[in-house]
Amino acid sequence: MNTLFPGFERSSIQVSGASINCVHGGSGPAVLLLHGYPQTHCIWHRVAPQLAQKYTVVAADLRGYGDSTKPAGLPDHSNYAKRAMALDQVELMQALGHDTFHLVGHDRGGRVAHRLALDHPQQVKKLAVLDISPTRTMFEHTDRAFAKAYFHWFFLIQPAPFPETLIGANPAFFMQYQMGRRHGGLKVFAAAAMAEYLRCFSDPAPIHASCEDYRAAETIDLAHDAADETKRIECPVLALWGKHGVIEQQFDCLTDWRAKAREVQGRALDCGHYLPEERPDEVARELRGFLD
């Protein structure tokens, strides 16, 4: 952990719905970094130190991931709704002394960030989303190609304990297959980061929690999104995505986000899905230019 984030402090902060693990360091305006599936805050280990030269950087584990708490899912999956996961992060930042902050989310973290910006607009100064289009948009445009590329969306939402049991038979195999089948393969991940991902995904609690994240996305999150159909993200938005990934191939990322936010800019980077680990210097430059 310390080798991945030199000079950063690690904290576990109790918020109203969970205990959230994070690392934080640097000085200046606050920036919250949120990771995706099946990873942890360690996805930011190549970006966070660069941002910390000018910003106070907080890289957090989402509820259900990493070393944050992993409650059993409720029947309606509401404790893994992006609304609940977003509130965790607002309360985390307040506990660290940051009432307002910039927000950056990759993959699942981008979906939490989208909901956070809608529910807590007074907290978010600027929002960056990495390699996603909005959840509801992606579900509404599901076709054979998308279902094949993102099979895990439809596998993980199956009722417990079906996906939990299959993944639990060999968590390392599942994780390495899921991450390695993308454009960059497994070679893009630092050995220390991959060891952390495997450590944090190696028992039933995180496997169940991550399934609940996806079950919520297909149920209660869609209901929340439908209720907020006319609501727009008020802060400026930066969308970045990989030129060799599904978002580039099957969606119109800028158009999708311009339907959800008032001010959007962005572009594709020459990489696959894992932008912060495949193109960390470029991601850091894009974020600094946007946040400045």
Given the residues 61, 107, 131, 256, select the one marked as catalytic.
107
Question: Could you identify the residue written with the tokens 């607002």?
Answer: 90
221 flagged as catalytic: no
Given the residues 41, 114, 152, 273, select the one marked as catalytic.
273
273 flagged as catalytic: yes
Residue numbers annotated as active site: 107, 273
